[in-house]
Amino acid sequence: MPTLDSANLMPDATPETKSAGAPALTVRNLSVLFGKNAAVKNVSLDIAAHAVTAIIGPSGCGKSTFLRALNRMHELNPEARMEGQIHLFGDDIYSRNVESVTVRRRIGMVFQKSNPFPTMSIVENVTVGLRLNGVRNKNILAERTEQSLRMSALWDEVKDRLHAPAISLSGGQQQRLCIARALAVQPDVLLMDEPASALDPLATAKIEDLILTLKKDYTIVIVTHNMQQAARASDFTAFLYLGELVEFGPTRKIFTSPAQKRTEDYVTGRFG
């Protein structure tokens, strides 16, 4: 029997029992097409609130596209078109009277390549989402800065140099700053697109620890290439292959007794 931290990392709960309340995101028959090519084909799944859901699959399987459809970032590509429905706590995020800007305030995103704004200091980076959305109150800004930097485990490292340029930080710190920046606008869901793939193992471990802490307050969806990372950090795992959802379930089940042969082959490294 597994001991130690397994209870925390691999819950026995099934998606149904875990999300007994309402799932954070319900995805129904989602397809994303670029011109005539479907990058994501007819995917339906529920993303549990206050849990980490990992999306795994080989390169080009549509996992990043899937993630970007969750906060309408795919719309930046004029070729992209989506079909199906996505609801965030019951709200249709593709409803005609919902602006993509509103959706993205509730569903934040962290990218593979850390991208703090180079013209801004550390504190300006954290507060930029608030300031450009009209928050002027200095107390609120200061409070959110500390709160977000603490949550992203960066506060102790930068509290004495909040006004230093953001690009003076190390790669791992920059990525945690990007997480703090996303948290400062207080989203419900945090999407992470391979957030640690450009970092060294130590910085990666910090990001993974962070993900485990953040799930108390946030719903997290993470795309990863790294099978160990999915196994360590996520509660649920979805395996995408060629745009289709092959299997979705509790991470432990996907990694120990997957229902599909293709899933087993992929997680054991036989292809992909």
Partner 1 sequence: MTAPNHRWRNFKNVLMQIIAFSCAILVVAPLVLVFYHLAKMGFSSINFAFFTQLPKPVGETGGGMANAIGGTFVLLAQAAVIGVPVGVLGGVFLSEYGGTKLNWWIRFAADILNGVPSITWGIVVYALLVAPMHGYSALAGGVVLGMMMIPLVMRTTEEVLQLVPGGYREAALALGISKWKTIVQIVVRTALKGIVTGVLLALARVAGETAPLMFTALGNPYWARSLTEPISALPLQIFAYAISPYDDWHRQAWAGALVLLLFVLCINISVRFLTRDRFQPKI
When the beta carbons of 184 and 231 are compared against partner 1, the nearer one is: 184
Residues 6+ apart with CB under 8 A from 231: 9, 10, 251, 255
C-alpha–C-alpha distance, residues 201 and 212, integer Å: 17
Q: Which residues in 19-78 contact partner 1 (CB under 8 A)?
A: 71, 73, 76
Between 106 and 262, name the residue whose CB sits nearer to partner 1. 106
Q: Tell me if 155 contacts partner 1 by CB under 8 A.
A: no
Cβ atoms within 10 Å, residue 260: 13
For the segment 75-104, give every residue that binds partner 1 (CB under 8 A).
Answer: 76, 101-104
Q: Which stretch binds partner 1 (CB under 8 A): 56-64, 106-114, 197-205, 246-254?
A: 106-114
In the complex, least distance from residue 183 CB atom to partner 1, rounded to whole angstroms: 11
| Maximum C-alpha span of the chain | 56
- At 171, give phi and psi (nearest 5°): -55, -45
3-state per-residue secondary structure call for 25-41: EEEEEEEEEECCEEEEE
By the 8 A CB rule, do 218 and 188 touch? Answer: yes
Give me the 162-191 binding string for partner 1, x by CB under 8 A, dash otherwise. Answer: -----x----------x--xx--x------
Which residues sit at the interface with partner 1, rule CB under 8 A? Answer: 71, 73, 76, 101-106, 108-109, 111, 113, 115, 117-119, 128-129, 132-133, 167, 178, 181-182, 185
